């Protein structure tokens, strides 16, 4: 599809959505209905731009425009560090190698003929940030097969520790002064890999997995940051040692100060499960009624509440979208009757059933790297 076609399709899609919006229940973030206005945040600079989806570029959503529970494939954010490899679905193979009783080798149709599972999974890049108004995010319906079933069929041998997932995308990296060719790869411990939720997905929102999103098959680890979800998957390797690649040991590594058994230490951790986070993404007005809307992401732990604070007021309980599922994003909204004209600040916080509360910026640990930006996000708006 050319870029022009894509743009035209999006325009068409927009008008269809606007026409259908009146029928949508109020708790779904609807596209703007007739007479409804999107109130601009004053914290978003005029220069803020969402790049068009083009080969080999990063794409983020304009979160103010999130208007559907499920993100369109073309609008789901895009990140790839080594470009987007060309893959022929007919010759593509997925091999399972290493410390297994039976090495396996699948074609795409071999995988498609297995029992399938379908799941809503939202994720964000570990580098998502307030600067992008948290636009490196998306929520989709995925269809694929169980990773645990495949690993059981392969038979993981005793002594195996890690499972490495290799993509087809390669790059030359300079490591310790030497140029070497490396594939994008991430690893999981055997325990993490055997979670029943993990999938090898080949459909996204009812379409074959798009090229940009890792066709024909990608790994999905629900509840984890996007970097775990290896695209263009070609090999699953079981080994007894830690995998030390760039995206486990150097990039996507958070550096923060932590209390380690009574001693303050600078700790580095690989980005894994998503931190408990909420963000206000848009405010709409219709007939004098205002609505504040946002999303929550976390590791799949059930939530207790999402609350919104307006200016110095009390925390008010937001309404949760009934479409929310364990690993989808969790959309919320709060009615804001009769706001006073002028500047306002809005902030949200989420609490899970274990009583963990989303941290304020001040409560976050001292952190050097920009990975894992999950603190409370105060927005400003003029009514």
Ligand X SMILES: Nc1nc2c(c(=O)[nH]1)N[C@H]1C(S)=C(S)[C@@H](COP(=O)(O)O)O[C@H]1N2
**Contacts to Mo ion by CB under 5 A:** 79, 125, 226-227
Distance of alpha carbon 199 from the chain centroid = 15
DSSP annotation of 20 reads H
Task: Return the one option of Mo ion, ligand X, none that residue 6 interacts with (CB less than 5 to 8 A, by type).
Answer: none
Task: Return the one option of ligand X, Mo ion, none that residue 331 interacts with (CB less than 5 to 8 A, by type).
Answer: none
Which of residues 213 and 282 has its CB atom nearest to Mo ion in the complex?
Answer: 213
Which of residues 142 and 252 has its CB atom nearest to Mo ion in the complex?
Answer: 252
Which of residues 151 and 248 has its CB atom nearest to ligand X in the complex?
Answer: 248
Which of residues 66 and 308 has its CB atom nearest to ligand X in the complex?
Answer: 66
Q: Closest approach of Cβ 227 to Mo ion, in Å?
A: 5
Q: Closest approach of Cβ 297 to ligand X, in Å?
A: 13
Residue nearest to ligand X (CB): 167
Q: Closest approach of Cβ 292 to ligand X, in Å?
A: 27
User: Which positions touch ligand X (CB under 6 A)?
Assistant: 76-82, 125, 167, 169, 184, 213, 226-227, 229-232
Q: Closest approach of Cβ 168 to ligand X, in Å?
A: 7
Which of residues 128 and 348 has its CB atom nearest to Mo ion in the complex?
Answer: 128
Task: Return the one option of ligand X, Mo ion, none that residue 98 interacts with (CB less than 5 to 8 A, by type).
Answer: none
Q: Closest approach of Cβ 62 to ligand X, in Å?
A: 16
Task: Return the one option of Mo ion, ligand X, none that residue 349 interacts with (CB less than 5 to 8 A, by type).
Answer: none
Which of residues 79 and 238 has its CB atom nearest to Mo ion in the complex?
Answer: 79
Which of residues 213 and 330 has its CB atom nearest to ligand X in the complex?
Answer: 213
Q: Closest approach of Cβ 281 to ligand X, in Å?
A: 18
Task: Return the one option of Mo ion, ligand X, none that residue 344 interacts with (CB less than 5 to 8 A, by type).
Answer: none
| Rg (the chain; Cα; Å) | 22
Q: Closest approach of Cβ 78 to ligand X, in Å?
A: 4
Q: Are 320 and 329 in contact (CB under 8 A)?
A: no
Q: Are 294 and 78 in contact (CB under 8 A)?
A: no
């Amino acid at each position: 599809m050319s870029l022009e076609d894509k743009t035209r399709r999006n325009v068409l899609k927009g008008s269809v959505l606007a026409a259908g919006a009146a029928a949508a229940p109020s708790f779904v973030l609807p596209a703007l209905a007739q007479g409804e206005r999107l109130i601009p945040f004053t914290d978003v600079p005029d220069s803020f731009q969402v790049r068009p989806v083009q080969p080999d570029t990063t794409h983020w959503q304009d979160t103010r425009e999130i208007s559907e529970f499920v993100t369109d494939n073309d609008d789901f954010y895009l990140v790839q560090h080594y470009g987007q490899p060309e893959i022929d679905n007919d010759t593509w193979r997925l091999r399972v190698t290493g410390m297994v009783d039976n090495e396996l080798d699948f074609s795409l149709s071999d995988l498609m003929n297995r029992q399938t599972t379908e799941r809503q999974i939202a994720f964000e890049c570990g580098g998502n940030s307030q600067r992008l108004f948290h636009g490196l995010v998306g929520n989709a319906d995925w269809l694929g097969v169980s990773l645990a079933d495949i690993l059981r069929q392969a038979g993981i041998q005793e002594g195996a520790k890690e499972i490495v997932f290799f993509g087809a995308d390669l790059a030359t990296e300079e490591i310790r002064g030497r140029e070497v060719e490396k594939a994008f790869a991430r690893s999981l411990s055997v325990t993490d890999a055997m979670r029943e939720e993990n999938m090898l997905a080949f459909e996204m929102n009812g379409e074959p997995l798009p090229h940009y999103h890792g066709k024909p098959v990608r790994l999905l680890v629900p509840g984890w940051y996007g970097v775990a979800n290896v695209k263009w998957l070609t090999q699953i390797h079981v080994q007894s040692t830690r995998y030390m690649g760039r995206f486990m040991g150097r990039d996507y590594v958070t550096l923060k100060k932590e209390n380690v058994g009574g001693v303050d230490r600078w700790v580095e951790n690989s980005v894994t499960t998503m931190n408990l986070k909420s963000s206000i993404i848009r405010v709409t007005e219709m007939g004098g009624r205002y609505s504040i809307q946002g999303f929550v992401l976390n590791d799949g732990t059930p939530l207790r509440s999402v609350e919104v604070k307006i200016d110095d007021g009390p925390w008010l309980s937001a309404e949760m979208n009934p479409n929310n599922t364990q690993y989808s994003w969790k959309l919320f909204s709060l009615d804001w009757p009769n706001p006073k004209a002028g500047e306002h600040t809005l902030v949200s916080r989420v609490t899970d059933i274990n009583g963990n509360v989303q941290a304020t910026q001040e409560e976050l640990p001292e952190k050097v790297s920009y990975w894992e930006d999950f603190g409370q996000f105060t927005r400003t708006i003029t009514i």
